[in-house]
Amino acid sequence: MTAVQKRVVINKLALAFSTLSALIALGFLFWILGVLVMKGVSALNWNIFIFEGAPPGYAESGLKHALVGQAILIGMATAIGVPLGILAGTYLSEYGKNSKLAHTIRDISDIMMSAPSIVIGAFVYAVVVMPMGHFSAWAGAIALGIIMIPIILRTTDDMLQLVPGELREAAFALGAPKYKVILSVVYRGAKAGILTGVLLGIARVGGETAPLLFTSFNDNFFTTNLNEAMPSLTVTIFNYATSPYEDWQQLGWAAAFILSMFILGLNILGRLILLAGKKRK
């Protein structure tokens, strides 16, 4: 075998192995999605949206409590995380720039992004749940909001920095004060990117379970009281799926399916917005 033939064989082997590895990795993904769709779709019915949780064996049981609870928790977390994340990102890109403080914030934010979410849950348990004396939707939303901040902060910072400096200068040259330059020109230029960051941030916290276990905890019944424990899809999935009751397990699959579709949808939407924004330029 000549040296060239040998290299051709090695090349083909490497290609074959890496292709196979990619297929195996993707295979698991589609396996998960496949099982989820099969078990989840068959468990779907209108009762899920009409009834709240019930003891095992009751026909009139559903996920209304968890769906509404999840929506409340995500909504509140968004209200906490999005403004803080966008404003902090704006500070980094437009005011702090390359200052020491800005770099420190960026570093800490990156560390926060990879912090285990259960640690953030424990933190909120210590500073919110313990003093209040009980679990609450507030605590859950604060935990999710904190997890959201570094994601949105980073994308906002990155996206604002992509807006060309000439555009800012042109606005300044027309006599615009700095806050107007940011509000009317810089934000507009980075609109698609920031929106994508927000959607990905929501998608990220939408699947969190651990930080909710000791903040908003869970409840099998419908509630909109923010000072009480609040049901969520994720914790409900955990409770129902690990229960020995067939009908609860079915509801667990349905909840898993709905949650996955929600997060998948957010991710796809985020990417579409980014693509549309790129095409315009």
Q: DSSP letter at 128?
A: I
In the bound state with another protein, the residue whose beta carbon lies nearer, of 90 and 109, is 90
DSSP string, 222-251: ----TTS----HHHHHHHHHTSS-HHHHHH
Q: Footprint of another protein on residues 126-185 (CB under 8 A)?
A: 164, 166-177, 180, 184-185
> Residue 6 burial by CB count (10 A; 0-12/13-18/19+): exposed, middle or buried?
exposed
If binding means CB under 8 A, how many residues of this protein chain bind another protein?
21
CB distance 237 to 259 below 8 Å: yes
In the bound state with another protein, the residue whose beta carbon lies nearer, of 193 and 252, is 193
CA 66/CA 96 separation, integer angstroms: 41
Provide, rounded to whole angstroms, the least separation between the CB of residue 188 and another protein: 5
Is position 280 an interface residue for another protein (rule: CB under 8 A)?
yes
In the bound state with another protein, the residue whose beta carbon lies nearer, of 48 and 185, is 185
Q: Footprint of another protein on residues 41-70 (CB under 8 A)?
A: none
Tokens matching residue 273? 């917005």
CA 178/CA 190 separation, integer angstroms: 16
Provide, rounded to whole angstroms, the least separation between the CB of residue 166 and another protein: 5
In the bound state with another protein, the residue whose beta carbon lies nearer, of 28 and 179, is 179
List of residues contacting another protein (CB under 8 A): 164, 166-177, 180, 184-185, 188-189, 191, 280-281
